[in-house]
Amino acid sequence: MSRIKIYSTATCPICDKLKLLLARWCIPYEEARVDEDREVLKEMLEISNHARTVPQITIDGKWIGGFSELTEMHMDGELDALMEK
């Protein structure tokens, strides 16, 4: 099971960019499409304090935010530390 879960849609260019970056960093992830499953949308809303934009990202079930927050974590070295657990 992947430690990172991305809530996304099919028409989100930032979601595509995020998935490309994770692949480049060799970090596995699970994608949950909120445009295909209303239960997944409800899950994202609960986890993210009702965020209405995608991507939304969780690590080990903990919501961290979106693309900017994940990029900041990577630049600060925090993502490397989380992935080494």
Residue 80 has a pLDDT of 76
pLDDT digits (tens, 9 = 90+) for 10-68: 999 999 999 999 998 888 899 999 999 999 999 999 999 999 999 999 999 999 999 99
Domain residues for the domain of 48 are 4-84
The answer, yes or no, to whether residue 77 has pLDDT greater than 60, is yes
Q: Name the pLDDT band for 81 (thresholds 50, 70, 90).
A: low
Residue 60 DSSP SS3:
coil
Altogether, the residues listed in the chain come to a count of: 85
CATH number at residue 53: 3.40.30.10
The number of folded domains in the chain is: 1
CA distances from 3 to 11, 38, 81, 85 (A): 24, 22, 13, 10
| Spatial separation of the C-alpha atoms in residues 65 and 53, rounded to whole Å | 10
**13, 36 Cβ separation under 8 angstroms:** no
pTM for the full predicted model: 0.90
Cα torsion at 59, 63, 68, 72 (round to 10°)?
-60
